[in-house]
Structure 1
């Protein structure tokens, strides 16, 4: 049996925070439309995903500064994953599709963060080759290998590499494309304000 992490009390991300976002999503009354209003209403999903990813980046920043041991960082990421990937009660057909897509992309983000902290990647690996391998694995219905390659891509992005535009533009629609959307969101968050590195995410072992 896998070792169970002791529960860590932390403020990096909470169920209340996730539920608050779900409340905003419900209030948005989002529907797929051709008009610009749909894009404006859809911003809540982007902000919701970014909030989760920034919380993960705060955990990684604490780990990198040695303020958080790897085991504790993994336990907190597991906790955030559990909150963000929990099944959401149906709201409307369009909103449910957006939530499902958001959660799928976050799977890629979480896999990347865990791969980075677990040092499960080769710093010399080429991103375009890993992306191609992920697509081929998905086509062969080897989903475990596909998410493994995506996790390595994300870990390399967390390590400072840049996603290759050509590979990202040529992606066939599928799980790998959605997971890589989560990696793209990590890259965008890292290129934005880095104030998350100074965040004092309090945590205590219970």
Structure 2
């Protein structure tokens, strides 16, 4: 249990449930089952994932400013993980597939944040080599190693490394691709507006 009192709510169950309800109301469907392409309202799912990513980046920002300790930061991330990785009741085959994909992507993002906060990565690591190792681990059905390599890639990105744009171009759909989607979301958020760095962590309902 964390000794220090944490006052901010970085992400809430209510917020996550609001996104789930919005997706239900939109009645999203896969327009191409093979490619996984979405119709126009698929942007809602992107925003749902990015909302969680932003919350994680707020935690990272506070940790970097020593506004929260390592222990606090990991505790907050654990709370976010409990919310967004909780099993979602079946809705429809298409929506269930979409939620499963989002949750897998968020697993990659959260693992990267934990890896960064713990310092469990090499600051001068070669992202391309880590990615290659992740793909090889997937081919060997070594999912634990896939998670480790993807987390290290994400931690490097959080530390300031650039994620090569061509990295995911030829990768086949699978654990690496889905987990790396979370890292790609982190990378995209970090090159966008950085107002999250000064945010107090409080949220209004979606």
Q: TM-score, normalised by structure 1?
A: 0.91
- Residue 102 of structure 1 corresponds to 102
Cα deviation digits, residues 114-148 of structure 1 (max 9, x gap): 00000000011100000000111111111111100
2:24 aligned to which of 26, 36, 50: 26
Deviation at 1:5, TM superposition (A): 4.5
Deviation at 1:164, TM superposition (A): 1.7
1:14 is the counterpart of 2:24: no
Q: Determine the C-alpha separation between the residues in 2 that align with 1:8 and 1:96.
A: 34
Write the mapping of 1:163-182 to structure 2, written as runs, cut at 5 A. Answer: 163-182=163-182
Q: Determine the C-alpha separation between the residues in 1 that align with 2:48 and 2:106.
A: 11
Deviation at 1:111, TM superposition (A): 0.5
- Residue 86 of structure 1 corresponds to 86
Residues 131, 149 of structure 1: 8 Å contact kept:
yes
Q: Determine the C-alpha separation between the residues in 1 that align with 2:174 and 2:39.
A: 22
Deviation at 1:172, TM superposition (A): 2.0
SS in 2 for 1:193: coil
Q: How many residues align?
A: 196
- Pair 104,78 (structure 1): closer, same or farther in 2 beyond 3 Å: same
1:114 is the counterpart of 2:114: yes
Moved over 6 A (4+): none
- Pair 64,132 (structure 1): closer, same or farther in 2 beyond 3 Å: same
Cα deviation digits, residues 141-164 of structure 1 (max 9, x gap): 111111000000000000111112
Q: TM-score, normalised by structure 2?
A: 0.91
Moved more, 170-179 or 12-21: 170-179
Write the mapping of 1:43-192 to structure 2, written as runs, cut at 5 A. Answer: 43-192=43-192
Higher share in helix: 1
Q: RMSD across aligned C-alpha pairs, in angstroms?
A: 1.4
Residues 8, 200 of structure 2: 8 Å contact kept:
no
Moved more, 149-158 or 5-14: 5-14
- Residue 35 of structure 2 corresponds to none
